[in-house]
Amino acid sequence: MEGYRIGHGYDVHALADGLPLVLGGVRINHAKGCVAHSDGDVLVHALCDALLGASALGDIGLHFPDTSDEYKGADSMILLAKVVDLLDAKDYGIVNVDCTLVMQKPKLRPYIDDMRASIAAVLKIPTDRVSVKATTEERLGFTGREEGVSAHAVVLIKGK
Ligand code: MG
């Protein structure tokens, strides 16, 4: 289908002590990690939903059900690669993506460029088309209490 299409994705995971924390395909050094059926990469889940939203191909739960053993502990970057394949099959190219992580701790700035590079490699686009931002909610709500992490993603795709 010709023309530009926009998509939005949002995801939340609870945090618990002693679990690995993986965000944007990058292992983060932190005492807490995401509770999840997969590796809990909340940023990549939001991005998958944004891409599926832009292409009107459903959502992450439709393609990778959390009731399936196949996706237990799954590397979310593999799920993202499968979403890219779904868009490729529909002749959609990815123009740019913009993601926001909402998390009180730790400081994510040292990891941002690695996240951008790992996402860009899977999306098969240059790193300067991949934005990852991090913010806090000023100690308010579930992110502020460090009970969870949320992520937003917006993407633009173009029919070839
Ligand atoms: Mg998720």
* Protein residues within 5 Å, CB atom, of ion ligand 1: 11, 45
- In angstroms, what CA-CA distances link 102 with 37, 56, 92, 122? 20, 26, 29, 23
Helices (H) and strands (E) in the chain — how many of each?
Answer: 5, 7
Q: Could you tell me the distance, in angstroms and rounded to a whole number, from the CA of residue 2 to the centre of ligand 1?
A: 30
Q: Where are the domains of the chain?
A: 4-159
Q: Could you tell me the distance, in angstroms and rounded to a whole number, from the CA of residue 90 to the centre of ligand 1?
A: 24
pLDDT at 37: 87
The whole-number mean pLDDT for each consecutive block of 10 residues of the chain, a chain of 160 residues, reads: 92 97 97 93 98 97 87 89 97 98 97 98 98 98 98 96
Q: Could you tell me the distance, in angstroms and rounded to a whole number, from the CA of residue 125 to the centre of ligand 1?
A: 23
Homologous superfamily in CATH for domain 4-159 = 2-C-methyl-D-erythritol 2,4-cyclodiphosphate synthase (3.30.1330.50)
Closest among 93, 35, 95 to 66, alpha carbons compared: 35
pTM of the model: 0.96
